[in-house]
Structure 1
Amino acid sequence: MTDPALMPDTSFQPYEYVHGDESAGVLLLCDHARNTVPQEYGDLGVPAAQFERHIGYDIGARAVTLELARRLNAPACLSTFSRLLIDPNRGEDDPTLIMRLSDGAVVPGNAKVDQAERQRRIDRFHKPYHGLISGTLDRMMAAAPAPVIISIHSFTPVWRGVPRPWHVTVLWDSDPRAVTPMLDGLRAQSDLIVGDNEPYDGALENDTMYRHATKRGLSQALLEVRQDLIADEAGALEWADRLEPILRNLSQAQDCRQVRHYVSRCDNK
């Protein structure tokens, strides 16, 4: 008899959807919103404390996303599974889609993932999340001019012993339409150190923004907020205060609401 604990949890929903005005002009995404793993995967052999680190999810990103969605009355799509199970911000063919080692933490539950299990996780978690985004965009583009896509992430204050100076950074590929006003709006806040494509490059083939924004010709920006600044409710609310007027302006900018294709820097790598 099969152990019930090993049976798929059919009640597990791989995404969270926040209903909003589909003509609002902005779609919010949060790829690494939670650190949850369905019961049949247990803890992947990873100590609970590791799931509370950035390797498990983007600390604070969900709270900021939900607050911005509420204030802007904008739709939002959020994942509900830990990136240790499968990373929704990677293409299906990316070698880092399922990590066996993440920032020094071994993930025993991923050590023997074969192609069948890889595909199982793609079908059960990765595809439904991206299907939600695609379907939401289809409806939004049918209802109004094209929306701006804003993806909310967070990053660690220190990486491999090296402090990171930024409070917030903007990642992007080739389309500057939402990025330039985003950077200008953040830099106008004199207490912030703002990074441009730091500490990562925003051009990543088949990641969420490439798949849903770049390929559709939609304006976009991926925000990385330092996780210690949004780790509690007060921090999340402060950053919603900082970001709300910038996003509201973007949602009303005619240039950002047009379909316009830019050649991705990924295509030149």
Structure 2
Amino acid sequence: MNVQSAMTYQPYFIDGADRPTRWLITCDHASNYVPPFVSGGDLGIAPEDMARHIAYDIGAAGVARELGKLLDGPVICSNFSRLVIDPNRGEDDPTLLMKLYDGTIIPGNRHAGDAERENRLNKCYRPYHTALAELAARREDTVIVSMHSFTKALKGKGTRPWHVGVLYAADERLSVSLVKRLEERGDLCVGANEPYGGHLPGDAIARHGIAHQRPNTLIELRNDLIESEEDQINWARRLAPILKAAAADDGV
């Protein structure tokens, strides 16, 4: 977990801002860090819960960073827990500040009112999206790949069988071909809009991809498959050529 003061806090990190290709890799839920200006840096839940999928997308940042190297495109990663404020939600989404997630009550959010919501928007959410927007606008032909991970099973729910999921909604370019290319490997259980369906209004892809008619896809990897740095690198190496081939298939 990061150690930063309120004066030096940076709500996002960018790798390879000057990389030249059209690929832009994003990781909305890269970190489980709680900045010191949010409940004194502690949301009131146990360390083991802050290490779970409820606080961030385990392994996704490592895959994103390696994928950016392989595709020679910039990578932007959030630097705040999704429990602080979720950058993959619209500003008016009721789940922007989660009060209960997969059986865990979030005490630091239970009484967070409009003023606290605005504070987190201004210090975390909006700077991240401003930086993402600037990266996406650096070229007219930007392709956005959003990296996420999901847990094998939610509490009280059945096991999710997918190794990888591809999420898409209004714009099927890249994503449908990506699903097909992944399935052709023969060794993966691939979910089209699994374990979640499509996108939410106002989420990061809707805002930076669909609204600007940029080709995009959101990749969900099961987090037990990317826990180690080696696994993260291997998945990035697997995905990079498949993404290039899927883009060529669709002429994007």
TM-score (norm 2): 0.93
Structure 1 residues 232 and 52, CA, compared in 2 at 3 Å: closer, same or farther? same
Which residue among 201, 215, 229 is the counterpart of 1:233?
229
Aligned position for 2:124: 125
Secondary structure of the 1:162 match is: coil
Q: Name whichever of 116-125 and 132-141 sits farther off.
A: 132-141
Separation in 1, partners of 2:96, 2:234: 32
Are 1:16 and 1:80, in contact at CA under 8 Å, matched by a contact in 2?
Answer: yes
SS of equivalent to 1:215: helix
**Runs of 4+ deviating beyond 3 Å:** 20-23, 249-254
Which of the residues 15, 22, 30 maps onto 1:18? 15
2:97 — aligned with what? 98
Equivalent residue number for residue 216 of structure 2: 220
Instruction: Provide the rounded CA distance (Å) in 1 between the counterparts of 2:29 and 2:68.
Output: 16
Given that 1:23 and 1:140 are in contact with CA atoms closer than 8 Å, whether structure 2 keeps it comes out as no
2:150 matched to which residue of 1? Answer: 155
1:105-184 to structure 2, matched below 5 A, reads 105-141=104-140, 146-159=141-154, 160-184=156-180
**Matching residue's letter, 2:152:** P
Deviation at 1:247, TM superposition (A): 2.3
1:111 Cα deviation from its structure 2 partner: 1.1
- Written as runs of structure 1 = structure 2, the 5 A alignment for 1:33-112 is 33-40=30-37, 41=39, 42-112=41-111
Q: What is the Cα deviation at residue 20 of structure 1? A: 4.5
- Measured in 1, the distance between the counterparts of 2:201 and 2:101 equals 21
State the alpha-carbon separation in 2 of the partners of residues 59 and 181 from structure 1: 26
Cα shift at 1:174: 2.1
Q: Distance in 2 between matches of 1:44 and 1:177?
A: 39
Partner of 1:3: none
Distance 2:17 2:247 in 1: 14
- Is 1:9 the counterpart of 2:14? The answer is no
Q: 1:27 aligns with which of 15, 24, 29?
A: 24
Task: Say which one has the larger Rg.
Answer: 1
Asked if the contact 1:148–1:251 (Cα under 8 Å) also holds between the matched residues in 2, the reply is no
Q: What is the distance in 2 between the residues matched to 1:223 and 1:130? A: 19
Aligned residues: 245
**CA distances 1:82-105 after superposition (whole Å, capped 9, x unpaired):** 001000000000000001111111
Return the alpha-carbon distance in structure 1 between the equivalents of residues 20 and 69 of structure 2.
15
Which residue identity does 1:56 align to in structure 2? A
Gaps of 5+ in 1: 1-7, 257-269
Measure the CA separation in 2 of the matches of 1:60 and 1:114: 32
TM-score by length of 1: 0.87
Alpha-carbon separation, structure 1, partners of 2:66 and 2:247: 16
RMSD: 1.5
> In the alignment, what sits opposite 1:246?
242
